[in-house]
Amino acid sequence: MRILRYVTPVLFVSSPLFAAGMEKSGEGAHVGASLRAELQYDNGEGNKVEGTDASVTQQQGVRANLLLSGDVNDKVSYKAEYMFIPDTYCLGTNVKWAAATFKPVDMFSVRLGCQKVREGGWDAYNYIDTTSIRGKIDYSGLNTGNKNVPHALYTPAIELGFHMFGDLTLQIVDDVQYVGGWNQKAKQTVNLEWRGDFAGIKPVVQYGLYDAEKSWHMDVGLMAEIENLGLTVDYGMITDSNKVAKKEDKLNRFSLELNYMVAHFKPFVYYTMFEEQQDTPDVKTNTGAVQALGFDDNGSLISFGSSFHHFGDNYAPYLAVDIASGKFKEGTDEKTKNNLMLRVGVTAQL
């Protein structure tokens, strides 16, 4: 059966009650909010028909959230996050987080509820809808239908955490189901993660099974903060077994991000790429329409820019440029298409 389908909504609805109890105990709740709004200029190269201008300027709109977290006592804590945008997160709702954590001793903890899935490495962890200003490339080559990773990024889960020699986490989630896949019933699968912290140098290793244990995913990454310099590097692989076609595809991805705080500016540069290798024959181009820049076989993104922190970290205007690239098929020809987007925006946190 599906786990946590009923427990998670109860946790989310109960969060204000947890907060009320905390206030009575004098510990207090932590309530916060953040938002990001931006104006985008797209040069339209990916939508361009020969002899026409497909450039467009558009407002992305405000992406905002409400976050509630805190400690009920020295052993129980909770976190709830709601997104004020028409999107689907945990259980197809706007709820990202609705989880409670029980930590009876320092070396062991249990978390129950809607939470982030342990996949995608630091690259997935570091991208936050309301505060991240780097670009993002979405690819949809996986049979599961999710973008970039096998599972949805936020889902009900049970976590067992072992906190010694770093943090080792065993996460139990519902297995994926899709037409043509191996798994055709409601069942669970597992993700494993280890994180370390060595004087600001933080490695992460992830491994998980899905689709009735016929496919797997893994990520290894490193995040480092050295004075004003930030570095993140990730490599991941996903195997994608197809029951109907009786073959196994492999997807490789890599990402690198650098940022540096100087005066009131925080410039950054981010690069990511992915390529899927099909099991005979290997398709060399994206099968999505060129006009939509639909990435389902290969693609890369270079994103660079800077945020401005004269007003502090809680209010930061920014400027960013994204250049996406991929190989597409036009008739019988293979063609590399590039798309440039200029973004101007602001992030704010309360």
The count of residues in the chain is: 350
* pLDDT bucket at 59, cuts 50 / 70 / 90: low
Whole-number mean pLDDT of the chain?
Answer: 85
The dihedrals phi and psi of 65, each to the nearest 5 degrees, come to -140, 165
Residue 283 is assigned to a structural domain of this protein: yes
Question: Using an 8 Å Cβ cutoff, are 105 and 22 in contact?
Answer: no
Whole-angstrom distance, CA of residue 122 vs CA of residue 24? 37
User: pLDDT for 85-136, tens place per residue?
Assistant: 767 789 889 999 999 999 999 999 999 999 999 999 999 988 888 889 999 8
Whole-angstrom distance, CA of residue 124 vs CA of residue 80? 19
Q: In the Cβ-directed half-sphere of 265, how many Cα atoms lie within 13 Å?
A: 7
The better pLDDT of the pair 26, 50 is held by 50
pLDDT at 3 over 80: no
Q: Which helix (H) or strand (E) holds 9?
A: helix 7-25
Mean predicted confidence (pLDDT) in 167-171: 98
DSSP letter (8 states) at residue 132: -
Q: Which domain holds residue 264?
A: 7-349
Residue 2 is assigned to a structural domain of this protein: no
Looking only at Cα atoms, what is the longest distance across the chain? 70
Supply the pLDDT for residue 22: 38
Angle at 300 between CA 40 and CA 147, to 5 degrees: 80
* pLDDT bucket at 54, cuts 50 / 70 / 90: low
Mean predicted confidence (pLDDT) in 321-344: 88
Residue 76 is assigned to a structural domain of this protein: yes
Whole-angstrom distance, CA of residue 123 vs CA of residue 204? 11
Dihedral sign for Cα atoms in the order 120, 123, 128, 129: negative
One-letter amino acid for residue 56 of the chain: V
User: pLDDT for 209-228, tens place per residue?
Assistant: 999 999 999 999 999 998 89
User: pLDDT for 281-299, tens place per residue?
Assistant: 888 888 766 656 678 889 9
Q: Is 119 exposed, middle or buried (0-12, 13-18, 19+ CB in 10 A)?
A: buried
Whether residue 156 is preceded by a cis peptide bond, meaning omega within 30 degrees of 0, is no
Residue 229 DSSP SS3: strand
pLDDT at 171 over 60: yes
Number of domains in the chain: 1
Per cent of the chain over pLDDT 90 is: 53
pLDDT at 45 over 80: no
* Among the listed residues 78, 90, 82, 111, the one whose alpha carbon sits nearest the alpha carbon of residue 5: 90
pLDDT at 52 over 60: no
Mean predicted confidence (pLDDT) in 278-282: 79
Residue 69 DSSP SS3: strand
Which of 14-18, 55-59, 182-186, 298-302 has the lowest average pLDDT? 14-18
CB atoms within 10 A of CB 183: 19
* Among the listed residues 302, 278, 293, 303, the one whose alpha carbon sits nearest the alpha carbon of residue 335: 293
Q: What is the CATH number of the domain that holds 30?
A: 2.40.160.10
Supply the pLDDT for residue 17: 38
Residue 113: partners with Cβ closer than 8 Å, 6 or more residues away: 4, 7, 8, 11, 12, 97, 98, 99, 100, 156, 157
Which among 47-51, 275-279, 340-344 has the top mean pLDDT?
340-344
One-letter amino acid for residue 322 of the chain: D
* pLDDT bucket at 14, cuts 50 / 70 / 90: very low
Residue 205 is assigned to a structural domain of this protein: yes
Whole-angstrom distance, CA of residue 209 vs CA of residue 173? 10
Mean predicted confidence (pLDDT) in 19-23: 38
Residue 258 is assigned to a structural domain of this protein: yes
Residue 29 is assigned to a structural domain of this protein: yes
DSSP letter (8 states) at residue 198: B
DSSP letter (8 states) at residue 284: -
Whole-angstrom distance, CA of residue 126 vs CA of residue 95? 19
Residue 1 is assigned to a structural domain of this protein: no
Quote the tokens at residue 79.
Answer: 């976190």
Mean predicted confidence (pLDDT) in 160-172: 96
Supply the pLDDT for residue 129: 82
* pLDDT bucket at 71, cuts 50 / 70 / 90: very high
